[in-house]
Structure formats: C-alpha cells, structure tokens
Chains A and B, each alone.
Chain A
Amino acid sequence: MPAVSKGDGMRGLAVFISDIRNCKSKEAEIKRINKELANIRSKFKGDKALDGYSKKKYVCKLLFIFLLGHDIDFGHMEAVNLLSSNKYTEKQIGYLFISVLVNSNSELIRLINNAIKNDLSSRNPTFMCLALHCIANVGSREMAEAFAGEIPRILVAGDTMDSVKQSAALCLLRLYKTSPDLVLMGEWTSRVVHLLNDQHMGVVTAAISLITCLSQKNPDEFKTCVSLAVSRLSRIVSSASTDLQDYTYYFVPAPWLSCKLLRLLQCYPPPEDGAVKGRLVECLETILNKAQEPPKSKKVQHSNAKNAILFEAISLIIHYDSEPNLLVRACNQLGQFLQHRETNLRYLALESMCTLASSEFSHEAVKTHIETVINALKTERDVSVRQRAADLLYAMCDRSNAKQIVAEMLSYLETADYSIREEMVLKVAILAEKYAVDYSWYVDTILNLIRIAGDYVSEEVWYRVIQIVINRDDVQGYAAKTVFEALQAPACHENMVKVGGYILGEFGNLIAGDPRSSPLVQFNLLHSKFHLCSVPTRALLLSAYIKFINLFPETKSTIQEVLRSDSQIRNSDVELQQRAVEYLKLSSIASTDVLATVLEEMPPFPERESSILAKLKKKKGPGAVSVNELEEGKREGGELNGGGDRGGDSSAIAASNASTPSPSADLLGLRTGPPVTAAAPSAGSLLVDVFSEAGVNDDGFLRDLEPPTESSDSLLAEGPGDSDSAPPSVVSEDPAPPLPESNELLNKFVCKNNGVLFENQLLQIGIKSEYRQNLGRMYLFYGNKTSVQFINVQAKPVEPLIEGGAQVQQVINIECLTDFTEAPLLNIKFRYGGALQNLSLKLPVTINKFFQPTEMASHDFFQRWKQLSQPQQEAQKIFKANNAMDTEVLKAKLLGLGMALLENVDPNPENFVCAGVIQTKAQQVGSLLRLEPNAQAQMYRLTVRSSKDTVSKRLCELLAEQF
C-alpha cells in the first residue's frame, strides 16, 4: 500500500516499537521503557525548544508506552501544545493523546477547551471533526458546560458539512448522557427530528442514535419521529439491494440504519394513526418474509446483517405485544432458528424467546418448543448456549410444566458446567418454590438439589427451605421424614446435614413415633455425620442436640455424654467449646420449664422477599431479571410463605351477595348486592368463597316469625298501581354503609352460631351456621313479616318469588384462607313502597369460628404459653363485667367460642384457660387464652396468646365484648 506514508517519517517511533518487541523478558522491556521515559523527560525539560515534529514523536512514544499498560505522568502539557499547532498531523496526535489519557484535570481542561473552541470556529471541517471527537472522547462535565450550547447549532446549521453533522450529532449524544441538564434541545427539537429525512444516509445513521436517546427521556416532545421513522424504514425495506449503493452491506440495504429505526420505534407504543401503523405492519411482515427467501450470498456477513434486522423486528413485535399474528410468526421464526446450524442463531433465538415467553399471546407458542430447548440444554457444545437454554426454560416455566422443567434442570445439573451451576441451583430453587403445588414436592426438589449439587447450594437456598418448612405446618412432618431418609446415605453433603440438623431439631418429634426413627436413632444418625463436618455445621448440630434434649427427655443422658466428651468440651474451637459447655450446663441445671422456654420452637419467619430471588438478581445484575418476573416472584413467594400478613385485617372476606325479600303492601323490586369478586383481590390473600344457592324453606327455623297468614293474594291484584311497574334498573348498585348497630349484631354471634341476625318491621334475617376446620356453611333465612306476597325478586341466588309470610333460605359456603379482622359485608337491597331500601350488615363470621379445640395437660399448656412469649404475640384487656359473673354462663360462652376449656390447668380454680388452633387455608394459628374474673371488682382480665399477633389482638377485641 505504497500510496500511504505509514508512520509518516516518525522513524524514532518505529525503532522504539521494534526495540520493545525484541525484548526477551518483561524486565528488559521495563528497562527499555524507563530509558526512553528518561530521555523524553529530559527532552521536554531541556532548554532547547522542541520543534513540532519532535514533540509529536515523543508524545506518540508516551502514548505507546501507556497503551502497553504503563503509567504516564507527564507529557500532557506538550500534548496540549500540539492541539494549537496548525499542522494537521501534530494536532491529530495531540487530540489522540488527550482522548486516550486525559481525565478531568481542571487546569488542563481549560487549555484544551480553548484549543477546541478555536477549532470549532475554524470552519475547517477536518479540524471541527477532530475537536468534536475530542469532546466525545473526554465527555466531561466541564466540556459539556463549555460546548453544550454550541453543538446543537452546528448540528442543524444549513451550511454544515455532512461529516461534521454526523460528528456533532454523536458528540451531542455523549454530552447528553453525561450532563442531560446542560443539553437543552427546546428550539432545536423539530429540526433534529427532521434529520431522519436527511438525504445523506450517514447523517441519518448518526442522528438516529441521538434521537433514540432523547426520545427515551422525552417521548412526548419527540413523538413526531414515529411516522418519519416508519416511512424511512419502509423505504429501506422495500428498496432493491443496489439502491443504496455503499450503504448496502453484503446485499442487505442499510442494516445499521434499519436496526436503529426499529430500535427507535421501541421507545413508543404502536402508532395510533392507522395508515402509519399499517405501513409499519407491512414492513414487519416484509422482514419476516425475507427471512424465508433464499440468501443472496453465502457469506456469513450477509446472513448476519439480514438476521440482525429480523431479530430487531422481532423485538419490536414483542415490545408492541398487540399483534397476535405477528407474535406467532415471530415465535415460529425463532423456533426455526432453534435448530439452525449456526450456533450464534441458536443462541440468539433462545435469548429472544425468553422475552417472548412473557407475552400472553405467545407464551403458549413458546411452550411448544420445550422439547427442543431441553434438548439444547443436554446437547449444545457451547456453555453459553446451554446457559441461554436454561434461562429460557426458566422463563417458559409455569404451573403446567414446572415439574418437567424442574426435573430436567435437576438432571442437567449433574453434568452442568461449574460456571453456571450456582445460578442453575438458584433457578431450580425459585421455580420449585414458585410453582409448588404440594410442599412435599418442594422439599423433595430442594433435597435433591443438595444431593446433586450440594457445593453450589448457597446459604440462601437452604435458609429458604427451612423458612418455608417452619412457616408451613403441613409440610413439617414430611420434611422431617424425608430429611431423615436422605441422611441415611453413607456420604451426604454437608448442606444436607445442616438442613437435617435444623429440621430434626425442630420437628424430629413428628416422626419420633416410628421406632425406625425414634429419638435415639435420629440422634445417632446426626451424630454419625458430626465428625466429618466443618465448624459452623458442628455448631449447628450442637444446637440441634440441645433441642433434642427438650423434645425428647429420654435422649438427655446420651447427649450430655456427648457434650461432656473431651472432643466437645475441650474443643480447640472457641465457638464449639462454648456451645458444648453452655448446653451441658443448661441441660443439667435448668428446669423443664426453663428449658422449654429457651428451646421453644422457632416462630414463623416474617413475610419477606425470597432471599434466593434477591441473590439471583444480585448475581445477574440489574436488567437480567425483568421487573415482571420479580413482582411475580414476590407475589408467588408471598403466597407460598403462608400469605400471612397480607390482607389480614382488611375486609378481605368477600361481601356476600344476598337478597332479601322485604314485605310491603305493594310491588317489591329485589336486587342482589355486588358480586363476590369485588372484594376478593387475589388468590394470595384472604378470600371467602361465597356462593349462594336457592335453598329449601326451613319452616322450623324462624320460630319468631308470625305464622303465615291465609291471605295469599297475588301482587297484581293487591298492589297499588303506582308501584308495580318500578323498573329494577333504577336500583342503585352502591352498597350502603354497614348499619351502625352491625358491630353489635356481630358480637352476638361470637359465641353462638345460630340466631336472628337482624329484624325490623318488614324483614327478619335468621342465621344458622356450622364450621369445620377452615370451612364453614351459613344458612341465611329471609323472612317476610308481612302478609303480602313478594314477586319480581331479581336476585339469582334466592327464589324469584317469596310468598307473604314465607321465607327463603340462602346458603353461603365459607372458606377461611388466612386470618382476618373485618367481617364480610352482607348487602341487601330491595324496593319498598317505591323507595329503595339499602341495608348492609356484617355477616357474623369471625376468626374464632375456625377454631379447633385442643385438649392439653397443664404441663403442655404452660410450655406453649411460654413459647408464645414475644410481646406482640400477646394481647391483654382488662374490662368491666357487663353481665352477671356466673361460672356456668362463662363456661358456656367460652365453649361457644370454639376453644377447648381446660380443667385443672390454672392453679387458681376461679380462672379459665382455653386452647385451640385456628384453621386457615394458609396456616394454622395456635392460640391460648386465659380469663381471670375478679368478682369483687366486677372486672375481668383477659389474656390471649397466639402465634400471630393479629389473631391475638382480634380475639381479645371480640371476647372483651362478651362477658
């Protein structure tokens, strides 16, 4: 290439570079460099003024030394001097040095800025470009302050050369990214947007990067770019491969610009203008069609450029998420790529499908590729492709395929690359938690995880399984059994020992009944692993042992023996020694009560974001896990974890739709209240499954009702003419606020299940209810107290016609999902004498209805009492007696409450103690109660303890009104 004088005469530089290359060792290289640095330093400091050429040469050498990885702490001044040279080569090297080496050294920046200012105003396009490049390279705040005002002017000025415009656009973009506050587009906005129409493709290509960035920040001001971008795109897509001359890249017209246009459109929702949208959809279809055409060249550059546009178009389709047809086509296209022979395409298809999986239109279509993806996970030779496959499986996982996907990921883990194992473990743990239908599956999965990839199971994972087991009573027994079995393996991972130690220490009692896993067997099993474990695990095991002494007094002597042995009590590790000594002492001197208190079962963990998910987020960095996914995870995680705190005290029990016939002398319009769903926010929170059905009359129930009169005159004959045509649509849908007395009415039912809930001169509502565990059924009887027949009863759940004096029955099924405070509302609307009657009552469903009585001996009672000793677990009230303090009445009321009344427990025979477990779908809440009457003062002191603070509080409130 003789036309170019490479190195342009800087012989000294070439010699120096050769010298460095000839150095045989690192030491020799450093020696040569130090020699050169000394030489340059003396030249710069010398008395003789250097000519421009020498300056340039030395600055270039410094640059080379810097690029070799050595520090350069001088020469900046000389470089700045070069900037103001009017010799192009000197200026160019000066700018290069500044671009590569300058950090915001304020002294220097001022000088540099001066030189830049001169060059910008030189009107010499080459100099202007050099200056703009320098600004973009350094991009400091000082430069933004100096030039942010000037550059937009250069960008839109009519007489600016195209090449300068390109540099100005990107330079401005750079400044906008550093200091958005300094770049004020205001008046320039529309002229910048119109650069999309520029004739010069290079200008459009550069400008669109700027426009995209500005649009992201100020979408409204730039929204006119959408239609311009669509028409530009449409022109490119429909052009022949030769139309765009040098902007055609391997037969693909303007691939960079096309991708940037598609990217810009992703800043906006689909165009509202039908014509624009139509044109865009046409473009997208053309791009999808082109993918099916035979390639115009066998070169990889051709297919890369073409597919780059295709992937960008698919991103836009996914972004719009509104064209099911395009989404499915996109999915099919990606499906083809999944089996393409190009590894790059398989990689990208897996990656794109991850985002496609989150669209509701294409989620199912993505799922059809599950076998291919699983196959990729098993057979791809490239670890980064396998990783994408694992990501996609994670993204396409839902309830329907969770078991399959988790199983595949687990089996892949056995051979997975070390680099991705930890992430895989986290993902399996999250999926198992998120989609656990039964928790035994969850426990199995996590234990398998530990078995297969124990080394990669981070602390978060095994903490989490313990949190979940502790918070979910229903899985504790299974967990104890499974972990006991897993520990039987001759070689099991230390993480398994940790989980095993913790779970058996807490719940070993649940499997102790089986002689094969008697307390001593459990202990021996754990202890057989002890000596192979690290110090922290041993410490955990020692704690498990002391818990055993509390759970199973019969193991005490064996365990004390172990604690007493020299290897424990004289262990060289301080932590172990201390635990051994303290536990030994504790077990020998403390009374059973003290021991039971100290070693009580762990309380449920508070609701929080899954620690594993947090870890995965941290690992992948922001942006790797979509916001959706996180929120979903949070939600699901919460649900899994017992759903405890959420919705607990809101009126989350759904309002029941009930209808009431109201007697009147004339026509009666009857409407139901709002349907159940309104108050039932999500599956995760409290929900009472209320459905009503027309029931049969139960004449025996409403004893209070007057017997039906003989008159059964039809309404048509009887009613005054004005009211029989009252249109039901007049009835407002708004439920009335609950009656002021509804709380009082509610209180009547705390200790009884049957009775009259409400009565006025027209209507009587009777209640009969029964509860078992967390389910209940309530019969509502609406009695017509008048002698007139009701017709036009609009409510679906009840019979459409109620005879005068008759009654209809409505059945409500109730399920308690989690604990709650507010009773569900019953809204009743009807028309009476032309006036709307709107009545809201509280359904007498209170948390105590779901009590299961628990009988226990005095010892157990006080042990549990002490276990519930956290301040928030207790609620206490002292109140004046409202009724006579009759022991028998009190007993009857307490029994009506649903708890077991425990005899001979409290040392004071005057006191009452009760125990029971509240059954909700999410969890069980054990509760204890103590009522201490003081006959002299006519006062009571009521204390409630339960494993959930909201429950204690609510029970206390409810009961305080009863005595």
Chain B
Amino acid sequence: MMHFLLLFSRQGKLRLQKWFLPLPERERKKIVKDMTTMVLSRKPRTCNFLHWKDLKIVYKRYASLYFCCGLDNQDNELLALEILHRYVELLDKYFGNVCELDIIFNFEKAYFILDEFLMGGEIQETSKQSIAKSVEASDMLQETMEEYMSKPAF
C-alpha cells in the first residue's frame, strides 16, 4: 500500500500531503523534509525510484511540481509511477490544463479527486471516466445545494 503522497514545488513548497497511515505530526514533518531534500537534489534523467528506510520512494516531476509517494517494500514501482500519472490526468481533466496554481487555490478539490481514486493507500478506481463522473456528480450536487442555499426556505 501507499503510505503517503506528497506534492511539492521545485522550491520545496508543499502543495498537497496525503497520509494513509496515522503518524505523529513531528514524523510527518521529518518525512516531508527528507523527501523534498532527497528528491530535489536528484539530477535530471536519473531513475524515478529510491530506497528510504524500509520504504520505496517513487517520484516524478510534472512541470514545476514533484509528485512523490512512499510504498511498501513489495509494491510495484512502475505501477506506482502510473498511479501518479493517472492522478495528474485526473487533475488535468477536471481543471483543464492543470497547473500548480489550480492546486494551490483549489486544494480541497485536489483532495476530493484523490479520494475518488485512492483510499487507505490502495487503488479504488482506475477508470478515468468513472472518477470524472463521480467528481462531476458531486459538483452538480454542490450547485444544486448552492441554489438551495439561496432559497432560505430550505
């Protein structure tokens, strides 16, 4: 299973953090620090995998953002790389040509999309269409709710 997923910028600014196991705050900060220093110091065209303690680290850079996750030792690195890619595709589909700013200003949406895709560190749904559909459905629900809100009668 995936232990954590981090999104950070080239400057090491954390943009999104998802922890699939409960960890004390201090430990989380330590991991974030280790990951950003480790990954950011990698030279271009090196491989996307690292060992860190007893976890496998898989990371990939998309434009200015690094996507980085920690896996169990028996997990498949290549597949994890494609999990990252699929997540990027999902964000892209939702925001349309997604960029770092979208994730900064709509962080809660980035979390919601991730929740449709992964749960408890395992993959829940791989179909891009299904995920897009359920994210859309909740947006619809949202808009309906907004309408309701403007009608204090509800």
**Interface, chain A (partner B; CB < 8 A):** 1, 4-9, 14, 17, 21, 52-53, 60, 63-64, 67, 69, 71, 87-89, 92-93, 96, 100, 103, 126, 132-133, 136-140, 163, 166-167, 170-171, 173-174, 177, 201-202, 205-206, 209, 246-247, 249, 254-257, 259, 263, 301, 304-305, 307-308, 311-312, 315, 343-344, 346-348, 381-385, 387, 620-624
In Å, the complex CA distance between A263 and B76 comes to 10
Given contacts A263-B74, A304-B78, A621-B54, contact A96 B124 (CB under 8 A): no
Which residues in A have their C-beta under 8 angstroms from that of B109? 6
C-alpha gap A906/B109 in the complex (Å) = 94
List residues 23-82 of chain B with CB under 8 A from any CB of chain A: 25, 29, 43, 45-51, 53-54, 73-74, 76-79, 81-82
CB-CB < 8 A to A126: which residues of B? 137-138, 141
Q: Nearest CB to that of B81 among chain A residues?
A: A304
Q: Considering the chains assembled together, what is the distance between the CA atoms of A763 and B11 in angstroms?
A: 93
- By a CB distance below 8 angstroms, the chain A residues around B124 are 166-167, 170, 202, 205-206
Contacts known (A139-B22, A343-B45, A623-B73); A170 close to B145, Cβ less than 8 A: no
Q: Which residues of B contact A138 (CB under 8 A)?
A: 22
Residues of B within 8 A of A (CB): 1, 14, 16-17, 21-22, 25, 29, 43, 45-51, 53-54, 73-74, 76-79, 81-82, 85-86, 94-96, 102, 104-109, 111-112, 115, 119-120, 122-130, 134, 137-139, 141-143, 145-146, 148-149
Partner of A202, one of B79, B130, B138: B130
A209-B122, A209-B123 known; A384-B105 Cβ under 8 A:
no
- The A interface, classified by DSSP as helix, strand, loop or mixed, is helix
Q: Do the beta carbons of B112 and A96 come within 8 Å of each other?
A: yes
Tell me which residues across on chain A come within 8 A of B14, comparing CB atoms: 67, 69
CA distance A327 to B38 in the complex (A): 35
B73 cross-chain contacts in A, Cβ below 8 A = 623
Q: Chain A CB within 10 Å — which of B78, B124, B141, B148 has the most? A: B78
Q: A88 touching B149 by the CB < 8 A rule?
A: no
A17 touches B105 (CB 8 A): yes
Q: Which residue of the partner chain A has the closest CB to B112?
A: A92
Bound CA–CA A249/B1 (angstroms):
20
- Alpha-carbon separation in the docked complex, A136 to B46 (Å): 35
Question: Which 3 pairs from chain A and chain B are nearest by CB?
Answer: A1-B96, A308-B78, A174-B120
Contact A133 B115 (CB under 8 A): yes
Least Cβ–Cβ distance between B26 and chain A, in angstroms:
11
In contact, B122 and A92 (Cβ under 8 angstroms): no
Q: How far is the CA of A308 from the CA of B77 in the complex (A)?
A: 8
Q: Could you write out 14 A-B pairs with CB less than 8 Å apart?
A: A63-B108, A132-B119, A137-B120, A140-B22, A166-B125, A246-B128, A263-B74, A315-B74, A343-B46, A344-B47, A344-B77, A344-B78, A381-B43, A385-B47
Q: State the CA gap A249–B46 with chains docked (Å).
A: 25
CB < 8 Å neighbour of A96 from B78, B111, B137 = B111
Contacts of B74 in A (CB 8 A): 263, 315
Chain B neighbourhood of A387, CB < 8 A: 51
Residue of B nearest to A167 (CB): B119
Please state if A305 and B54 are interface contacts (CB–CB under 8 Å).
Answer: no
Asked if A205 and B111 make an inter-chain contact with CB atoms under 8 angstroms apart, the answer reads no
Smallest Cβ-Cβ distance to A2: which chain B residue: B96
Q: How far is the CA of A9 from the CA of B124 in the complex (A)?
A: 30
Question: Given A205-B126, A344-B78, does the pair A96, B108 have CB atoms closer than 8 Å?
Answer: yes
| A4-B94, A8-B146 known; A255 vs B127 contact (CB < 8 Å) | no
Flag if A6 contacts B81 (CB, 8 Å): no
Given A17-B105, A126-B141, A206-B122: A67 and B17 interface contact (C-beta under 8 Å): yes
